[in-house]
Structures are given as structure tokens and as C-alpha cells.
Amino acid sequence: MDPFEQMAALGHEQVVFTRNDDVGLRAIIGIHDTTLGPALGGCRLYPYGSEAEALRDVLRLSRGMTYKAAIAGLDLGGGKAVIIGDPGIKSEGLFRAFGRAVESLGGRYITAEDMNTNVEDMNNISRETRWVTGRGKATGGSGDPSPVTAWGVFHGIRATAEVVFGSPNMEGKKVAIQGCGNVGYYLAKYLHEVGAELIYTDINGARVARCLEEFGGRAVEGDEYFGLEVDVLAPCAIGGIINERTIPKLRAPIIAGGANNVLNEEKRDGEALMEKGIAYAPDYVINAGGLINVYSELKGLPLAKAMDDSANIFSTVKEIINAAKGQGITTMSAANQLAEQRIETVARIKRMHIGS
């Protein structure tokens, strides 16, 4: 497929290629859909094997952001940027040059942190454009989004528990967290506060040790995680962990965690979970707290507002799981439908009174 066909297949509005040889910048900005508002999404730095691979990634990721913002009820569209290169190419100049490209779009695209980019990089981008979020607290940004993300995940787990067990009460419920990093740590904290029993796994032993010390519980290693007889598996590490190989091992009735792209293959693995009667809280719905946090930063709203909005993930997750049950479709399909409905409704409203 040529790039225009690829854009058309996924419904993209605009794709921008930008370069600056002095600082080694080769970047692609994907603007998927701005019906709901400016396209927001992180800037990923990655050593893609080819431009075609980078383009595929930016198209896929920017489309995902449209759905995430829509389902979270935000006035944002979906966008994403990729810089092609090794993290070793990072420099003030690289991010300032990227910032100028963002600035040239006049606010149609707003950037943020993503894989291999951090607060310092966002600060450099912000020297050239105001269309950047996720800056450090010291420079007026909202700082680490993980506490807000984990708060949304916590409420998404409660909502799934309400549908599956008839109550959102997590006291005494067993939750197994994969990945005790930024999101996993705060999730453990919130669950511990309401009396859940915790089980952890992480390839980084120090992170497990911190959770064990602060919140109690026990640890498991490797594949033992997937076969645990617990109430909830909460993946908060990497993507693709629910797949053909791990699904036969699953014994938990709920999968709900903060990681992105939990299902290795959205359709096939989603259907396999449905057949096993396992309730899956769609990743982009339950982990939208990070996006809600940067949206609050953009709007100049306090952290408390971001936390409240993130807690509303409870009602969205509940609605989606019930809709999926009612229609006999996967929760991912139900979430996509809900997001598309919101975009269509807003698009119709925005067409009202044009020219009158």
C-alpha cells in the first residue's frame, strides 16, 4: 500500500514528515482525527528498521489515541509522533528542531512523552512551542502521570469486579500485579489501602521488594503468573502478554491492568477470553488516566480534577463490559463502538448552524 492508501485505510487526516540533518532529526507526525479537538499523543524515539516501519507505527498509534481520547470523554483528537533513531541521538537541538515542527502545525498536534522520551526532552521542545504537555513540575507541567493512571486502573478494576462478582469491594480480593514500576506501584498502594491481597511479579527484584515491604503480599516468577488462581490479573508491565500461549493457562476471571496493548492480537485473543468467560477491561479505556492528566495540564486544571476524572473510568468500564455482554461481542469491540459513537455525535453537532 502506498502512504495515501495507508492513511485512507485508517482514516488519517494528515501526516507530516520533517527533518533537520544538523541535529539528526527524522520524524513523522501522524494526525488521525481532530473531530473532538487537537490531536494529542506522545513522541516516541525508536530505531525503526525503515521509514515504512516508522510510518506504520505512527499511523497505528495515532489512531489509537483518537479512540482513547474519545472514550475518556476529552476534547482531544488522536495524534502521535515518531523520531527515527537510537536514544543516543538525543540532544537539546534534536528536540528543539522537533518542537519547531510541532509549532508549525499551529496547535493541530500536541506532543507529550512516550517511549525513550522524558520530561527533560519535553522541556526542550517547550522552548520552541507551547504545544507540548508532560513537562516537569518545576516548569509548570503536571509531572509524573502514573499516580493518576493507576487511580483510573484501580477504579476500572473495581468496576469489572462489580459486574463479575456483584460488588466493587476489593477487600480480601486477590490481585496479581505484573510490573511493579510507576503504575504497578501506585496500583498496589491503592489496592492495599482498601484491603486487597497482593501478588507481584517483575523482572526487577528491587521493585518487587519495595512493594512487599510497603504493602505485604507475595511474589511469583515467570509464567507462574498466568496460572494464578486469583480474582484479578493486573498487567502493568509490557504489551502482548495475553496471547495464544498464555490464554490456556489463565484461571483468573478478570484481566484489568495499566499496560498498553495487553492483547497480542486484539480480535483473536479478545474472542478467546470471551469464550473462556474472562472479563477483560480494554487497555486504552482503563489506562486513560495518563491522558486525562496531561489534558488537565493543558487546561490548567488542578491534580484533584484529574484524579476525579480518572475515577470516572469506573462508569465507562462498567458500561463497556455490560454492553459487550448484552451484544455478545468482545469488550474491545464494545469500547470501539462507544468511542466511534461519541465522535459521530460530536461531528454532527459541529455541523449544526454552519453558514446560518
- Residues designated catalytic: 80
Integer angstrom CA distances of residue 137 from 116, 297, 326:
19, 10, 44
Residue 205 CB, nearest approach to ligand NAD (Å): 9
Cβ distance to ligand NAD smaller for residue 41 or 258: 258
Cβ distance to ligand NAD smaller for residue 43 or 105: 43
Query: Which residue is nearest to ligand NAD, using beta carbons?
Result: 181
- DSSP per residue over 216-257, as a string? --EE--GGGGGG---SEEEE-S-S--BSTTTGGG---SEE--
Retrieve residue 65's grid coordinates.
Answer: 489515541
Cβ distance to ligand NAD smaller for residue 126 or 182: 182
b/e sequence 242-278, b meaning 16+ C-beta within 10 Å: beeebbeebebbbbbbbbbbbbbebeebbbbbbeeeb
Identify the DSSP state of 138: G
Task: Give the footprint of ligand NAD on this chain (CB under 6 A).
Answer: 145-146, 149, 178-184, 201-204, 207, 236-239, 258-260, 287, 290
Residue 53 CB, nearest approach to ligand NAD (Å): 19
Residue 186 CB, nearest approach to ligand NAD (Å): 8
Distance CA 117, CA 121 (A): 6
Cβ distance to ligand NAD smaller for residue 78 or 258: 258
Residue 47 CB, nearest approach to ligand NAD (Å): 18
Distance CA 310, CA 6 (A): 33
Residue 204 CB, nearest approach to ligand NAD (Å): 4
CB contact set of 231 (below 8 Å; sequence gap of 6+): 161, 165, 173, 174, 175, 252, 253, 254
Distance CA 270, CA 1 (A): 27
Cβ distance to ligand NAD smaller for residue 42 or 99: 42
